[in-house]
Amino acid sequence: MQTIRRLAYCRAGLVGNPSDGYNGKTIALTMKNFHVEAELFPSPRMEILTPAHDSNQFASIDEMIDHINLDGYYGGDRLIKATIKTFVDYCDVQQSIEPELYHQPFTIRYSTNIPRGVGLAGSSAIVVATIRCLIENFQVTIPQPVQAALARYVENDELGIACGFQDRVAQVYEGLMWMDFTAMRIENDHLCGQYQPVDSSRLPPLYLVYNRRASKSSGKVHGALRNRIGDDNRMIGTMDQIAELVPPAREAIAAGNGGQLHALMDRNFDLRAELYDIRPTDLAMINTARDVGASAKFAGSGGAIIGTFTDEKMYRELCAAILRANPNWKIVRPVVA
C-alpha cells in the first residue's frame, strides 16, 4: 500500500443557507483558497496523528480556554475516529470490504489551512478528505450522494454535532452546486437530496471576508436554533422564505444577472437575522461591505461573509473599507474548486 493523499475544499453558502437543515434548498460553492489534506499510509499499528492546533500543550490558561471554546474538549481526532467507524459500519452492511483488509493497520493524519470557527466547513472537510482516503485504501465504491450522507452522519449522529447536508454535498461534488432537500430519498439506506452542478462561469465577481478571531463552533449555532425553532410557525415560515430564494438565484446565475443575485443574497442575510442573534462584529462586517455597494451574507454560521461586487473600483473600495474597519478581517477572492 502506498501513501494516499486526498483534499477537501472549504465551502461557502451562496444562497439558501441555513435552510438545508430544515428540508430547504441551497446553492453553495467550494473554494480552492482553503483546504484540508488527509494522508493515509501503512504502519505497524493503527494511529491517528493530529496537527499542532489539536495538541494538549498550551502557552497559558487563556490559550487553553480559547481552544475549548472553539473545539470543546476534543480536536480533529474525534472526527477522524468517527469517520473511520461510520465508514466501516457502512461497508459491513454493504459487504464491500474483504475481511483480511481490516487487519492491515495504517496511520492517518491531516493538515488544514481553512480558517477555523468562521463557518467555512473546516470540520466537514476533515471528514470528507478522510472518507476519500478510506475509499481509496479499501478500494470500495460509494456513490457521491451517499458519501455526503455518511459525512453528515459522522457529525450529526455519531458525534451529536448539529449540522445540515449542504457542506458535505458541496465538498463531495465540488464546484458550484444546487441542492434541494425538500423531497429526500433513500439510497443505500441513507437520506439523499437532489443535487445538480451549476455553471460557475456565469457568476458575477465574488469576495469573501473572514474574521481571524471569530472562533465559533457551527454546531453550537445550529443546535441552539433547532431548539428554538421547534414548531414555531413564524420561524418555520422565515426558513421557508430563505429556501424560496434559491430558484430565482439559480435563474439569475444562469442569466448572468449579477444585480438580481445581489438582491437575493442580501435578502438571505436579512431573513437569517430574524432567526439568529447576530454578533456585533458580524453585523459590522455585513454593513461595511454593503456601505460600499457590495452584497453581503453569511458564508456559513457566522464569522465569514460572502458577496458580489460590480467592478474593480468597488473591490478596491471594499478592500480599503475592510482594512480600516478591523485589522482582524481578511478579504480574499474565491477561486471556485
The model's pLDDT over 255-274, given as tens digits with 9 standing for 90+, comes to 999 999 999 999 999 999 99
Cβ proximity of 73 and 45 under 8 Å: no
Which grid cell sits at 184? 429526500
Q: What is the pLDDT of residue 310?
A: 97
Alpha-helix runs per DSSP H in the chain: 61-71, 76-94, 122-138, 144-153, 166-173, 218-229, 233-243, 246-255, 258-272, 280-291, 312-325
Domain span(s) for CATH 3.30.70.890 in the chain: 200-332
The dihedrals phi and psi of 145, each to the nearest 5 degrees, come to -60, -35
Per the document, the length of the chain is 337
Q: What is the pLDDT of residue 226?
A: 58
- Marked catalytic residue, from 71, 167, 180, 266: 167
Nearest to 133 by CA among 231, 4, 311, 293: 4
pLDDT, one tens digit per residue, over 276-335 is 889 999 999 999 999 999 999 999 989 999 999 999 999 999 999 999 999 999 999 999
Q: Mean pLDDT throughout 173-194?
A: 92
Q: What is the pLDDT of residue 207?
A: 98
Q: Mean pLDDT throughout 146-158?
A: 96
Q: Which CATH superfamily is domain 200-332 in?
A: GHMP kinase, C-terminal domain (3.30.70.890)
Cβ proximity of 293 and 310 under 8 Å: yes
d(CA 269, CA 206): 16
Q: What is the pLDDT of residue 230?
A: 59
| Catalytic residue status for 189 | no
Judge residue 314's burial from the number of C-beta atoms within 10 Å of its C-beta, 0-12 exposed, 13-18 middle, 19 or more buried.
Answer: middle
Nearest to 36 by CA among 164, 98, 128: 128
Choose the weakest-confidence range: 30-34, 55-59, 75-79.
Answer: 55-59
pTM over 0.85: yes
Q: What is the pLDDT of residue 329?
A: 97
Assign 244 a pLDDT band (cuts: 50, 70, 90): very high
184 vs 33, higher pLDDT: 33
Cβ proximity of 84 and 151 under 8 Å: no
3 state SS of 210: strand
pLDDT, one tens digit per residue, over 47-75 is 999 886 666 778 888 888 877 776 665 57
**pLDDT above 90 covers what percent of the chain?**
74
Assign 215 a pLDDT band (cuts: 50, 70, 90): low
Q: Mean pLDDT throughout 230-237?
A: 77
d(CA 30, CA 8): 9
d(CA 89, CA 194): 25
The dihedrals phi and psi of 176, each to the nearest 5 degrees, come to -100, 120
d(CA 18, CA 165): 10
d(CA 275, CA 229): 8
Q: Mean pLDDT throughout 191-215?
A: 93
Nearest to 77 by CA among 47, 103, 105, 35: 47
pLDDT at 222 over 80: no
Q: Does 3.40.50.2300 match the CATH number of domain 4-198?
A: no
Assign 165 a pLDDT band (cuts: 50, 70, 90): very high
Which grid cell sits at 45? 499499528
Domain span(s) for CATH 3.30.230.10 in the chain: 4-198
